Structure 1
């Protein structure tokens, strides 16, 4: 096995996509074009911002068998992706990738990983000192008639809100996303709320809430309600990675007619589950 840093190139980004697809039995050929663009751009973004935290594992023939993407932001380390293709599992590839990413984040006080229910992944993160917080996902078609009216202003966000975004991040996850917001703004719609009740933001994809953070539960509830109401009628939507602390989100989702089901783990080290907070699977 060859383990080398991920490069800011289309070839390396496509290698990460190949590993991602192999881990989910979801061939890139079946992906909507917007999803492929987002994955390519995200891999190259982290290769630029965190060259010491992003790694690619290759077999003897040069084919990608594993990849890991991690970030360090103001003392908060995150692992947005770590995957090993099925045929290489059990050979130490995942262990080697995780070790490199943990070394990159060794100076960080806090750590965040969103993990699937895969037993080997769960064991590895627990062995690395992470507390496992069982998570839930809301999914289904929004019944707008069942939702309460939005209780205050929610406006379209953009680069001018960068200070607000970083401030909310620091309050909730201990460190701002920093340059990640520039990448998120390229690919997702942003809505923000900022008044006497607090501040917050929410990024939206075509059919899911990508992430949400706020300084109060009232603002978080307002943002999530507005987000669910903004989807096209009949769209099957998702809000994932909700720990038990996010009951406010579960309440909004159930009121909207969504169903709730188990959805892996949010793994945290050096911090308790932020609240209110919905992590981004791609940026944490």
Structure 2
């Protein structure tokens, strides 16, 4: 791999990086999937466009955390990390299958980890890939198993959802406040991207606040108490015929309670990898923006 160079990622790399990660994740899903699950599908164009939009957003807002590995003008790997208020986060990390096992993944991750050296905490969503898990563990991350619920809900079990309204840009301060109470750092400028890609709902009472981004289930949810979080998740279930709610740690058992009550199926997959912090709660992170 001596002819491979690792360089900062630019917005012009986003399209090629999207395809690299789509193929890489599909290869991993194909290798790791269980027989009872549907066959893995390559990332569809709409989600690919969202990936490119997100990558360019992160490059523009925190370029120091974004890197690619390149040989002969072809990308072999990509890592996208970013910092929000002393919290280091890993959004995407992939190496093409033919370049794996040669030390490129470790070399590529190194500048992204170095970018977060001044952060108090770290957070990422990890797959079940044993090689990646070992790499995150070696970097000082504690691994917390995650679950997800999916399926067609039993609509007779869905309660009347009250105290939930459509969110707007005027809710950003409220959401950042909830973020700080749950994960220790605000999403800040990331809310602008999330509002472009998902439906935002907010629950606000005299004693509790919370919000959720919805996309055939929950894309991201944060609240100050379990009751508010459950209310938001029920709104997500009521809004979709085919529901997926992922990234559920054992500390967020309220989400399992809601999913099981809606007659959704429960599965275990992947890890929430954390450094110097406990699993956020009540909180369901976005896959890339956490």
TM tier, smaller: over 0.9
- Could you tell me which runs of 5 or more consecutive residues in structure 2 were left unpaired when the two chains were aligned: 28-40
Is 1:124 aligned to 2:135, yes or no?
yes
Rounded to whole Å, the distance in 1 between the matches of 2:5 and 2:86 is 29
> What's the CA shift for 1:31?
4.4
Cα distance in 2 for partners of 1:144, 1:191 equals: 20
1:56 is matched with 68
Partner of residue 49, structure 2: 37
Give distance in 1, aligned partners of 2:155 and 2:283. 23
- Determine the structure 2 residue equivalent to 1:164: 174
C-alpha distance 244-30 of structure 1, shift in aligned 2 (>3 A): closer
Q: Distance in 2 between matches of 1:52 and 1:115?
A: 21
TM-score, length-scaled by structure 1: 0.93
**Cα distance, 1:36 vs. partner?**
2.1
Alpha-carbon separation, structure 1, partners of 2:11 and 2:89: 19
Matched, 1:14 2:20: no
Inter-partner Cα distance in structure 1 for 2:184 and 2:177: 10
Q: Counterparts of 1:203-218 in structure 2 under 5 Å? A: 203-205=213-215, 207-218=216-227
Listed as ranges, the matches of 1:170-189 within 5 Å are 170-189=180-199
Q: CA RMSD in A?
A: 1.4
Query: Which residues of structure 1 form unaligned runs of 5+?
Result: none
Match of 2:124 among 113, 116, 121: 113
Secondary structure at the aligned position of 1:52 is classed as: helix
Is the Cα–Cα contact under 8 Å of residues 125 and 288 in structure 2 kept in the other structure? no
Partner of 1:74: 85
Q: CA deviation at 1:15?
A: 1.8
Contact 1:197 1:219 in 2 (8 A): no
The separation in 2 between residues aligned to 1:143 and 1:101, in whole angstroms, is 44
Name the CA shift for 1:197/1:228 in 2 (closer, same or farther; >3 Å). Answer: farther
Q: Distance in 2 between matches of 1:8 and 1:181?
A: 20
Deviations 1:204-260 (A, max 9, x none): 12x2311100011110000001111011xxx32211111101110001001111111
- Runs (4 or more) in structure 1 with deviation over 4 Å come to none
Question: Aligned-pair distance for 1:7?
Answer: 0.7
Which stretch shows the higher mean deviation, 213-222 or 141-150? Answer: 141-150
Aligned to 1:240: 246
